[in-house]
Structure 1
Amino acid sequence: MFGGLLGSNQSSGTDFGEQMLNTVAAQSIRHLFTKSDVVEVSVRCYPSSKLLQGSIDSFKMSGRGLVIRRQFEVDEMSFETDAVAIDFGSVMGGKLRLKQPTQAVAQITLNEAGINRAFQAELVQKRLQNVDSEELTNLSGGEPVTFRNVEVKLLPDNQVSIAAETDFPNRQNIPIRLLATLAVEKRRRISFSNPKFDAEQVPEDVRGIAGVVSQAFAEVLDNMVDLDRFDLDGVLLRINRLETHGKKLVFSGYAQIDHFPGT
């Protein structure tokens, strides 16, 4: 089967094999996302003849303008593996199949605008509507509470400023204003830690109720962002560190790749 591929020049044949692998891998990875502006794949294999045995030295992917599950925007995502064992025969069939799961160093960048648009996603809205906590229902006369118009601003040193609104039966447009620190818990959950009511941003006549509601909203946020809910087919993401850089939020961690989509 490989004789025709290699012809009389083994080097050019394996170079062609690398090019084919790059193309097939890029097509497979694009299936992870609802939308992708750019997906680039680079395979390193030396000597290149190892590719025919399904052994490559490293596998690197970088993507920009990505959308997960139709509504979650990722500015940039990259990951790079160590040595990987693949089924080279599957590449010839236009697919990419791993012989065994592998891990990769990963980095994900979100921007502030995309984070705020994510609060309009159906998955997030479900967790913001009809919140039925004891603390809130005591204030609302027993009625569930819905939060709206959530806006997050990224600040230096992993700080965030959060604004939102809610309504009670006897009071409309109660302002929510918080300052919090972003942190990572169990490598998969984003925590809004040390939340503080930002009283200076709230009119004096509603500061009492706004302070209580703001703290309750912080608890809602703190249980919301879990990477396992994003469900990338065959790829499990884990975070070691996050940092705010201007209007961007950068996550560093790793990806466990069990299989590629469509394989």
Structure 2
Amino acid sequence: MGIVVGILGLIFSLGAVAGFYVDTLVRDLVRGQLSGADRLEVRVEAVPNYKLVSGEIDRLRLAGRGLAIRPEFRIARLDLETDAIAVDLGSTSGPPRLRRPLQAAVHIELIEDDLNQALNAPDILKNLQGIRTELPGGVGGAGREEVLDFTEPRIFLKDSEVILQSVVRVRGREETLLVAFRTDLVVDAGTRLRFIKPAFTLNDVPVPPEIANVFLAGLNDIVDLEQLAPQGIIARVLNFKVEPGKLDVVVFARIERIPGT
């Protein structure tokens, strides 16, 4: 949201200036909010140019490749296109106020290597630590509750299928185990990516539901668009595909208000 506020503030502070100059300034602003970008292009459309003075543009387009939102989270492809935008320029302080909701379509492509880097980020790994459950006897379960730490999670993308695996360290033991499962990845109510119908194994032994559910709970919390609602953003997944080596997602977003306005 901070990037959106910055873009709108910059565009409308430039008055009737348009074309390459404003496109370059907006591109540099967006690039400054990222940890890195292989390629980034921005196009601000306003015909005639003086519409900017009244707080209006016809369309904003942004195309990026290899965008590092954070050092551990990279987006292979991002294409964004908005409808017409209208901003109230009457206020001289604070963020710009939308005269009508801002609507945009976003196309995102995530590749396997980038997802694996994100899965091993500290914020994700901490959700996979200290899991208490009883292991099955087939993998040396002691018949009592034990504490498990999941490490080195990896994801493999196939046609309409996701394969996840992780090393499991049992506290108090030297040996490690390997948990793996195949699952479908679906969109729940257009807002949340969920892993369903998992087939779990632990060293090739079926995993108890307790372990499976805790592991999935941490992963299912990664993407939930409902978390944006308190910020005045309504987002829905329009298209979602799992292909070999990549995920392809199209999202519609409607921004009702900008925080602080």
Q: TM-score, normalised by structure 2?
A: 0.73
Q: What is the rounded CA distance, in whole Å, between the counterparts of 2:67 and 2:227 in structure 1?
A: 13
The residue number in structure 2 matching 1:185 is: 188
Q: What is the rounded CA distance, in whole Å, between the counterparts of 2:42 and 2:258 in structure 1?
A: 16
The residue number in structure 1 matching 2:66 is: 65
Instruction: Tell me the alpha carbon deviations over residues 135-176 of structure 1, each in whole angstroms, 9 at most, x when there is no partner.
Output: 66995743331111211110112x111111213345732221
Q: Report the Cα offset of residue 240 of structure 1.
A: 3.0
Question: Which of 162, 165, 172 is the equivalent residue of 1:163?
Answer: 165
1:80-91 alignment, distance < 5 Å: 80-86=81-87
Q: What is the rounded CA distance, in whole Å, between the counterparts of 1:229 and 1:34 in structure 2?
A: 25
Greater helix content: 1
Which has the larger displacement, 142-151 or 112-121? 142-151
Q: What is the rounded CA distance, in whole Å, between the counterparts of 1:112 and 1:97 in structure 2?
A: 38
1:212 counterpart letter in structure 2? P
Q: Report the Cα offset of residue 207 of structure 1.
A: 3.5
Instruction: Tell me the alpha carbon deviations over residues 40-60 of structure 1, each in whole angstroms, 9 at most, x when there is no partner.
Output: 111222333323322211111
Q: Gapped runs of 5+ residues in structure 1?
A: 1-12, 91-95
Q: What is the rounded CA distance, in whole Å, between the counterparts of 2:22 and 2:81 in structure 1?
A: 15
Q: Report the Cα offset of residue 62 of structure 1.
A: 1.2
SS in 2 for 1:125: helix
Say whether 1:122 aligns with 2:119: no
The residue number in structure 2 matching 1:212 is: 208
Aligned Cα RMSD in Å? Answer: 3.6
- Contact residue 51 and residue 88 of structure 1 kept, 8 A: no
1:1-263 alignment, distance < 5 Å: 14=16, 16-86=17-87, 97=96, 99-100=98-99, 101-132=101-132, 134=133, 141-157=144-160, 159-168=161-170, 169=172, 172-197=175-200, 206-208=203-205, 210-212=206-208, 215-216=212-213, 218-227=215-224, 238-257=236-255, 258-259=257-258
2:249 counterpart letter in structure 1? F
The alignment covers a number of residue pairs equal to: 234
SS in 2 for 1:226: coil
1:165 counterpart letter in structure 2? V
Taking structure 1 as reference, are residues 181 and 226 closer, same or farther at Cα in structure 2, changes over 3 Å only?
Answer: same
1:226 counterpart letter in structure 2? V
Q: Report the Cα offset of residue 186 of structure 1.
A: 4.0
Q: Of the two, which has the highest radius of gyration?
A: 1
- Contact residue 116 and residue 155 of structure 2 kept, 8 A: yes
Q: What is the rounded CA distance, in whole Å, between the counterparts of 1:107 and 1:252 in structure 2?
A: 4
Q: Report the Cα offset of residue 236 of structure 1.
A: 7.0
The residue number in structure 2 matching 1:7 is: none
